Amino acid sequence: MKNRRIGVYLIGAKGSISATVMVGAMALRRGLAAPTGMITVTAPFDDLRLVDTGSLHFGGCDVRQGTVVEAAHRLANETGAVGWKLIEAVEEDLAGIEPDIEQGTVLNCGTAIEDLACRGGCETSLRDEVSRLRECLARFKSRKALDELIVVNLASTEPSFHLEPCHEDPAAFEECLDRNISGALRASTLYAYAAVREGCPYINFTPSAGALIPAIISLAEKEGVPVMGNDGKTGETLVKSALAPMFLCRNLEVLSWEGFNLLGNMDGCVLDHPENKQSKIRTKDQVLSRILGYAPHSRVHIHYVPSLDDQKTAWDFIHFKGFLDARMSLQFVWQGYDSLLAAPLVLDLVRLAELAARRGEKGLMPHLASYFKDPLGVSEYRLTEQYRMLMDYAMEVRKSLGANADT
């Protein structure tokens, strides 16, 4: 198989996660880091002919001022876990990406995001804005002579989104664009639509529900484009999806589950706004009832603590009932670097999306459920079972490749 040129188009390219993804890929290329945290480097994926992470070509868009290099500097300053020596080693490569960073859109993203933007909202018609976004993708793909371009949404969380009739059906959605009903859409909707129309596999790593609406999923199936989301599962919810099944296995009744999340990067700043916070809470809060089969008293609290920078702390208190109605409790504290937990998952998703596209898969990729808080098209929320879905997929691909090699 000839070496395919694969590109990655990051929406929110100047954010902390994007910076970590790019720094990480370049560090792997130079042998300066280990791929710890990536699932696709483990044994079950050895023979799947996945794209080499170090060979990826990066571009993207953002609404903020600044540069990719400045984002990497900010990452080093905020985490303390990414050394300046590493940043300096890849700085020239990062600077080379800057010409491929385009202007994004802030359509109905809320004041928290609009205040960060270096220009206003959608100043043209929806059709014109979609055309501009499609041209950005096509231009990058042509300039880099890419065989495939994977689009990943890593932008800040948009306000809550409610499905309307125009979101359910591709024809109704096209009419919405034609009539320029901008209030019914979000920036994430335009990004996803542009990606699918350009034939680019699309990953929504954000909680923004406007991205993969039913109309766009249907369009992806029709156009033969693999897509998946929503909301990367990196911290507290990851632990929840692993821990909650334990109570079922011991027939212990969860009475209350309170989760307190403290974070300090740009994500935390945006989530400090109630309209944006609600989108995040929705994806985090539904996991328990999906696993337990009932809804205990449960609340997710998100608080912005600027001094934490990229660090995130989650403290969870679980109150449960056992034999003879005895009431007991369990607590855990999760502390980690938000961007460093997310980046290896993004690199995994890029590799798996490229594989899906190469295999002719289309529409949702349910085998990627373990990567998301709110996996679309999936009713299984237990982490171990989601992981098994991924392993089953890897085995299926391996068998397929073996069969093709024999013919």
**Element (DSSP H or E) covering residue 2:** none
pLDDT tens string 150-169: 999 999 888 888 889 899 99
CA distance 161 to 166: 13
90 has a pLDDT exceeding 70: yes
pLDDT tens per residue, range 378-401: 999 999 999 999 999 999 999 998
Amino acid at 398: R
Task: Kindly tell me if the per-residue pLDDT of 88 is higher than 70.
Answer: yes
Q: Is residue 272 predicted with pLDDT exceeding 90?
A: no
Query: pLDDT of 199-233, one tens digit each?
Result: 999 999 999 988 999 999 999 999 999 999 999 99
Q: How confident is the model at residue 264 (pLDDT cuts 50, 70, 90)?
A: confident
242 Cβ contact list (under 8 Å, min separation 6): 383, 384
C-alpha 345/C-alpha 31 separation (Å) is 19
**Interatomic CA distance for residues 63 and 119, integer angstroms:** 7
pLDDT score, position 123: 66
Record the tokens describing residue 100, joined without a space: 């491929």
122-142 mean pLDDT:
93
Q: Which residues are CB-neighbours of 331 under 8 A, at least 6 positions away? A: 315, 316, 317, 318
Predicted TM-score (pTM) above 0.85: yes
Which one is predicted more confidently, 123 or 222? Answer: 222
Query: Which of 261, 262, 338, 260 is closest to 307 using CA atoms?
Result: 262
Residue with structure tokens 């999340």? Answer: 261
Backbone CA torsion sign across 73, 337, 210, 214: positive
Token pair, residue 257, equals 């589950």
Separation CA 123–CA 225 (nearest Å): 29
- Strand partners of residue 57: 7
Q: Which residue has the higher pLDDT, 329 or 210?
A: 329
Measured CA to CA, the distance from residue 266 to residue 270 in angstroms comes to 6
Find the length of the chain.
Answer: 407
The residues that bridge with 299 in the sheet, in sequence order, are: 258
Asked if residue 260 lies in contact with residue 307, where contact means CB atoms within 8 angstroms, the answer is: no
147 bridge partner residues: none
Residue type at position 1? M
Confidence band for 285, pLDDT divided at 50, 70 and 90: confident
Domains along the chain? 6-232+340-400 (3.40.50.720), 236-337 (3.30.360.10)
pLDDT digits (tens, 9 = 90+) for 34-78: 999 999 999 999 999 999 999 999 999 999 999 999 999 999 987
